[in-house]
Amino acid sequence: MNFVQRSECPVCESQNCTTLVKIPFVAPVMMNFIQDYYQGRPDPSLFVADDYHLVECERCSCVYQKAILSSDNMDALYEDWVSDEGRKKKDRRRIKDMNTYMRDFKVLEALTNRRPHDISVLEFGLGWGHWSRLAKAFNFNVSGAELAEDRVANALAHGIPIVSDLSSVPDEHYDIIYSDQVLEHLPHPAAMMSEFSRMLKPGGFIVTKVPSDKGMSKKLNPATFKPAHDAVHPLEHINLFRRSTFDFMAQENNLIQVKVPYVEGLSRPVEFLRERKRGIQNKAHQSTAIFHKTRN
Ligand SMILES: [Zn+2]
């Protein structure tokens, strides 16, 4: 079995959904995209029996791919198919391109009203550790969670402690759980949110960034749909979170959503207000949602 069919919404478990787009993976428009994007690495025979099938949940509005790669193939996707380009690009960045990290660190300080030294952070899905390494340099008490062995080794070499089994983390352990472009890749994002919530201290925050749903309604027209590296990227971005999806996740875990606080010097106030009009901060390609675990 190369793919697994998801019979219910990965966020709210509703089985009621509406099909938005359904195209066989072997259709030229899909197969050309996949082979181009992964530079011919996937075996085409993996895809013969399944469809790129995008549906919208009738209850929480999550948009999700019905057919997802089986766990072995998912490992192959992230360890063998994806190229090193993303990492190389990050390795070669200028200081101005890292302003967004600076902004994150200021946001964490503003949210908790504490100094980095006193803030324990788990970066979930730290990848090549660019964010965690800087967080460490700014004195945050940071550790990471990551599955891929080469990335784990890299993090350890840079002095970032790795949590290999989340279930071993005590309840109410971290002040901040940070995940950037991770939840959209997970077969069970809701289960992960409740794990985050369990590990979070009362008064703590989950800061999560996911691809934005901005402009997606127009894109999801079956007559004109084209696969691309965007919020509904085939195989990878298997969940797309809408505002009501985040609302559902917050409610389920007894969390409240808070706005991204304004931090000085890194974004012009007018732009900032425009970005955060919707509560979740919505930039062109990325949304930031912040969940707060209250003390009572
Ligand atoms: Zn749902």
Q: For the chain, which residues make up each domain, given as ranges?
A: 92-211+255-292
How far, in Å, from the CA of 16 to the mean position of ligand 1?
Answer: 8
β-bridge partners, 65:
54
What spacing in Å lies between the alpha carbon of 33 and ligand 1's midpoint? 28
Please tell me the distance between residue 56's alpha carbon and the centre of ligand 1 in angstroms.
Answer: 8
Q: Ligand 1 centre from 53 Cα, in Å?
A: 16
Alpha carbons 226 and 27: distance in angstroms, whole number: 12
Strands (E), 28-140: 51-57, 63-65, 67-69, 120-124
Give the integer Cα–Cα distance in Å for 157 and 153.
6
CA of residue 86 to ligand 1 center, whole Å: 31
CA of 173 to the centre of ligand 1 (A): 29
pTM of the model: 0.92
Residues within 5 Å of ion ligand 1, judged at the Cβ atom: 9, 11-12, 14, 57, 59-60, 62
Distance 10 CA to ligand 1 centre (A): 7
Q: Which CATH number fits domain 92-211+255-292: 3.40.50.150, 3.40.50.970, 3.40.50.300, 3.30.70.270?
A: 3.40.50.150
Cα dihedral 288→219→274→175 (10° resolution): 0
Q: Ligand 1 centre and the CA of 191: distance in Å?
A: 13
* pLDDT recorded at residue 278: 46
Backbone phi, psi, residue 69, to 5°? -60, 145
CA of 287 to the centre of ligand 1 (A): 19
Closest Cα to residue 286, out of 103, 96, 150, 145?
103
Q: Say how far apart CA 210 and CA 202 lie, in whole Å.
A: 24
Distance 156 CA to ligand 1 centre (A): 37
Task: For residue 147, report the distance from its CA to the centre of ligand 1, in Å.
Answer: 26
Other beta carbons within 10 angstroms of residue 71's beta carbon come to: 10
pLDDT one digit per residue (tens) for the chain, 296 residues: 899 999 999 999 999 999 999 999 999 999 999 999 999 999 999 999 999 999 999 999 999 999 999 999 999 999 899 988 888 888 898 888 888 899 899 999 999 999 999 999 999 999 999 999 999 999 999 999 998 888 999 999 999 999 999 999 999 999 999 999 999 999 999 999 999 999 999 999 999 999 999 888 889 988 899 999 999 999 999 999 999 999 999 999 999 999 888 887 655 555 555 555 544 555 558 899 999 999 86
Centre of ligand 1 from the C-alpha of residue 149, in Å: 32
Tell me the CA–centroid distance for residue 123 and ligand 1, in Å. Answer: 26
Say how many Å lie between the CA of residue 13 and the centre of ligand 1.
6
- Ligand 1 center–CA 11 separation, angstroms: 5
- Going from the Cα of 15 to the center of ligand 1, the distance in angstroms, rounded, reads 8
Distance from the CA of 203 to the center of ligand 1, in angstroms? 27
How far does residue 143's CA lie from ligand 1's centre (Å)?
A: 31
For residue 96, how far is its CA from the centre of ligand 1 (angstroms)?
38
The residue assigned the tokens 């967004």 is 100
Q: How far is the CA of 62 from the centre of ligand 1 (A)?
A: 5
pLDDT value of position 151: 92
